[in-house]
Amino acid sequence: LSGGNTPIVAYTLFGKSDLLWNRVQLIASDERCLPPDDPERNDKAIPAAIGPRKYTYHRFPAELGPEKAAEAMESVVGELVPFDIVVLGLGEDGHTASLFPGRDLEFDTLVIPVHNSPKPPPDRVSLTPKALSQTQLMVYLVTGAGKREALQKFLNGADIPPNHIPAPEILILCDSAAHLEQD
């Protein structure tokens, strides 16, 4: 699951679904290297949005730093793939997870440390295209006029991270502000 502002409403609705929650396992696409109780962490925001359900949330130990967190999560992610569904966002700069344009996207691992992120905080840990592409269904949630250019780049096959994450089915859910040209 992607963090950030866009998917929180969707996760709140997801949390109201009548599922066999004891069979649900969730993991964020990335995590900020912040103290464990920091509200900016995805492992705080995502469970808060979903609510008190009995699912398993696989938390990145990002407070240990990017390298140690990536190393700790490699085997966990290896046991989780293939994912049933991957939900990602799209940043104004075309990033997804903590995979940023202009950076190397070819990795042999499933989880990577990220340094010098253009978005704060600079240190993060992220699933790689190798991990994220191990799904039958990839869903992108894109909202706001600020993401219109990034969405067009994505749809036109530009060299941005989402176009390096293949999946058999890709569904893009966007609002009119992100998709429509404004007069």
Q: Is residue 182 very low, low, confident or very high in pLDDT (cuts 50, 70, 90)?
A: low
Show me where the domains of the chain are located: 8-179
- Residue 145 has a pLDDT of 96
Task: Burial-class residue 71 by CB neighbours within 10 Å (0-12, 13-18, 19+).
Answer: middle
In the chain, the amino acid numbered 164 is: H
Q: What is the mean pLDDT of residues 124-140?
A: 98
Q: At what angle do helices 42-50 and 8-15 cross, to 10 degrees?
A: 40
What are the tens digits of pLDDT across the range 6-65? 898 899 999 999 999 999 999 999 999 999 999 999 999 999 999 999 999 999 999 999
User: Which has the closest alpha carbon to 90: 101, 79, 82?
Assistant: 101
- Residue 69 has a pLDDT of 99
Threshold 0.85, pTM exceeds? yes
pLDDT above 70 covers a percentage of the chain that reads: 98
CATH top-level class for 8-179? alpha beta
User: Dihedral, CA atoms, 156, 159, 160, 163, nearest 10 degrees?
Assistant: 60
Q: What is the mean pLDDT of residues 55-81?
A: 98
Whether residue 183 has pLDDT greater than 60: no
Structure tokens at 174: 């966007």
Radius of gyration of the CA atoms of the chain, in A: 16
CA-CA distances (angstroms) from residue 176 to 26, 42, 113, 118, 147?
Answer: 29, 26, 35, 27, 11
In the chain, the amino acid numbered 152 is: Q
- Residue 5 has a pLDDT of 83
- Residue 180 has a pLDDT of 72
Q: Which residues contact 66 (CB under 8 A, 6 or more apart)?
A: 33, 112, 113, 114, 115, 123, 124, 125
When the pLDDT of each residue in the chain is averaged and rounded to a whole number, the result is 96
Q: What is the mean pLDDT of residues 130-140?
A: 98
